[in-house]
Amino acid sequence: MTDLTSLTIAEARDGLASKSFTSLELTDAHLAAMEAARSLNAFILETPDKARAMARAVDEKIAKGEGGPLAGIPLGIKDLFATRDVRTTACSKILGNFVPPYESTVTSQLWRDGAVMLGKLNNDEFAMGSSNETSCFGPVVNPWRREGSNTALVPGGSSGGSASAVAALLCMGATATDTGGSIRQPAAFTATVGVKPTYGRCSRWGIVAFASSLDQAGPIARSNRDAAILLRSMAGHDPKDTTSVDIAVPDYEAAIGKSVKGMKIGIPKEYRLDGMPAEIEKLWSEGAAWLKAAGAELVEVSLPHTKYALPAYYIVAPAEASSNLARYDGVRYGLREPGRNIIDMYEKTRASGFGAEVRRRVMIGTYVLSAGYYDAYYLRAQKVRTLIKKDFEDCFAKGVTAILTPATPSAAFGVGEKGGADPIEMYLNDIFTVTVNMAGLPGIAVPAGKDAQGLPLGLQLIGRPFDEETLFSLGEVIEQAAGHFTAPKWW
């Protein structure tokens, strides 16, 4: 039998339906791959008993012809998603051994459709980071290495465990979340496909909150088709999330292979940064040429407020984080450090439970929201956010269907290489992705090529609100032209 872990979700779905193998066999193959790849530190909790029980149950359903759209497909779950009776920590010491008595809406929809849970995936603490180095479980290693080098590279973040596990064939797909780039940047670093849906497309209920007006769940997978299959199950209206939007979920997979002829694709001139590596420039023009060859029309567009997006994001996101994280007080969840009185207990718990990056965000957030500074920082950033959104609206009003940009300003970097002395060095990773969250739009990162050292690079497509389908159609054109990229196995 071919190695079951190298199948795509679409291929596995066919194999399961034709009874070439069972979900239990498929699940066991992935559990063995996970065990052999522990050095990547992608999974922080393996749930083999649960996985096998779910696989057996779904095999019975498949036998009776009752399997759902994801019947028998083994997936990994980012540790930001609450999973009932399974430890959920957001990779923070402060949640300790928190075991939620409830299931997030997104994961419950995956199980409803027959998927199998392999375990929980590593991420940056509370999803704050771009390299998965802020996790209390330690960094994740990217299965990709520079040619001829053994240097351990980061998989990006914050969904680093999700990207690394999918790229290393440890799971067929994974859930992830994106507040400023956390699905798309790790996807670009690992040659996987990552989708940040329109704000409101997936329910945030049961996902550990970082910055509620920016957070969105989405899939990481090995092809556009697989990402489309996963998003269909993850998306949908949920009355438990008041920002969830009541729009029917389309069959995203039907968009794969659809013609992109006549679509107007914007190339934003402000994304051409000074000192941008020539390889990224080249990738971007190649992507444009592929879309043109498929019949799309390429037009230069302007998104004039782009340069304010990152500074505004680093006001809005910490502000929301500081209020969301106020709930971790040593009383309700996880860790409690005893103190002389309640204030002392709060202070000791929060000082020892939060890592350095999270503490920095809480302090920045508290500062920009405090009386006297609120108008100068927070309110101002919100106004900038409106202008960023308007830039995109103006573009779409002129008939632009989608926008093509690089996904990241560089390929994956080494563990410990960035952000040690200056956090801004790390924040710059999201220069091409944060605008999309600020505007609430959908974005997809698709593998498009490699740099001179053999590391994957990705392109990003940004769409109109709730038009993820077009992104899948365009992403497929890039995938067909660029081909597939698999990390050579060394672990």
CB of 65 to ligand GLN, least distance (A): 40
Out of 78, 120, 196, 450, the active site residue is: 78
Stretch that binds ligand GLN, among 57-65, 103-111, 175-183, 250-258 (CB under 6 A): 175-183
Between 76 and 443, name the residue whose CB sits nearer to ligand GLN: 443
Tokens 């001829």 -> residue: 148
Q: What phi and psi, each to the nearest 5 degrees, are found at residue 236?
A: 135, 155
Binding ligand GLN (rule: CB under 6 A), the pick from 158, 162, 233, 401 is: 158
Give the binding range for ligand GLN (CB under 6 A) out of 128-136, 290-298, 337-345, 388-396. Answer: 128-136
95 scored as a contact of ligand GLN (CB under 6 A): no
**462 φ, ψ (degrees, to nearest 5):** -115, 135
Cα(275)–Cα(279) distance, integer angstroms: 11
Cα 29 vs. chain centroid, distance in angstroms? Answer: 25
Please report, as residue ranges, which positions from 295 to 314 form the binding site for ligand GLN (by CB under 6 A).
Answer: none
CA atoms within 13 A on the CB side of 361: 26
The window from 122-130, 216-224, 344-352, 373-381 that contacts ligand GLN (CB under 6 A) reads 122-130
| CA 301/CA 114 separation, integer angstroms | 43
The rounded distance, in Å, linking the Cα atoms of 355 and 333 is 16
Q: 194-223 b/e with 16+ CB inside 10 Å = b? A: bbbbbbbbbbbbbbbbbbebbbbbbbbbbb
In the numeric block, which tokens belong to residue 234?
């993850």
- Asked if 131 is an active-site residue, the reply is no
Nearer to ligand GLN, 124 or 469 (CB): 124
CB of 180 to ligand GLN, least distance (A): 3
- Considering the complex, what minimum distance in angstroms separates the CB of residue 81 from ligand GLN? 13
192 binds ligand GLN (CB under 6 A): no
Q: Kindly state the smallest distance separating residue 160's Cβ from ligand GLN, in Å.
A: 11
- Per CB under 6 A, 127 contacts ligand GLN: yes
Question: Which one of 181, 330, 406, 447 is in contact with ligand GLN (CB under 6 A)?
Answer: 181
CB of 156 to ligand GLN, least distance (A): 9
Give Cβ neighbours of residue 86 (< 8 Å, ≥ 6 apart): 45, 47, 50, 99, 100, 117, 120
- Based on the shown chain and the rule CB under 6 A, indicate whether residue 179 belongs to the binding site for ligand GLN: yes
Question: Nearest distance from residue 356's CB to ligand GLN, in Å?
Answer: 13
131 binds ligand GLN (CB under 6 A): no
* 33's tokens: 């791959």
Query: In the window 315-334, what residues touch ligand GLN (CB under 6 A)?
Result: 317
Closer of 225 and 361 to ligand GLN (Cβ)? 361
Q: Is 224 in the site for ligand GLN (CB under 6 A)?
A: no
Residue 165's nearest CA partner among 187, 185, 184 is 187
Of the candidates 92, 135, 159, 182, the residue annotated as catalytic is 182
182 is catalytic: yes
The Cα–Cα gap between 124 and 131 comes to: 7
- For the CB of residue 372, give the shortest distance to ligand GLN in the complex, in Å: 25
139 in contact with ligand GLN (CB under 6 A): no
Confirm or reject binding of residue 443 to ligand GLN (CB under 6 A): no
Using rule CB under 6 A, residue 198 touches ligand GLN: no
Q: Does 9 bind ligand GLN (CB under 6 A)?
A: no
CA-CA distance, 261 to 401, in Å (whole number)? 11
Look up 158 and say whether it is catalytic: yes
* Count of residues that bind ligand GLN according to CB under 6 A: 13
Do the Cβ atoms of 280 and 410 come closer than 8 Å?
A: yes
Sequence-distant (≥ 6) Cβ neighbours of residue 119 within 8 angstroms: 34, 43, 44, 45, 46, 47, 48, 51, 76, 77
- Contacts of residue 419, defined as CB under 8 A and 6 or more positions apart, other chains included, come to 130, 131, 133, 425, 426
CB of 95 to ligand GLN, least distance (A): 16
Distances (CA, A) of 180 to 224, 325, 346: 21, 18, 29
DSSP string, 80-125: TB-BTTB---TT-GGGTT---SS--HHHHHHHHTT-EEEEEE--SG
Q: Is residue 182 at the binding interface for ligand GLN, with CB under 6 A as the rule?
A: yes
Q: Does 381 bind ligand GLN (CB under 6 A)?
A: no
Query: Could you list the residues that contact ligand GLN (CB under 6 A)?
Result: 127-130, 158, 178-182, 210, 317, 430
Catalytic residues: 78, 158, 182
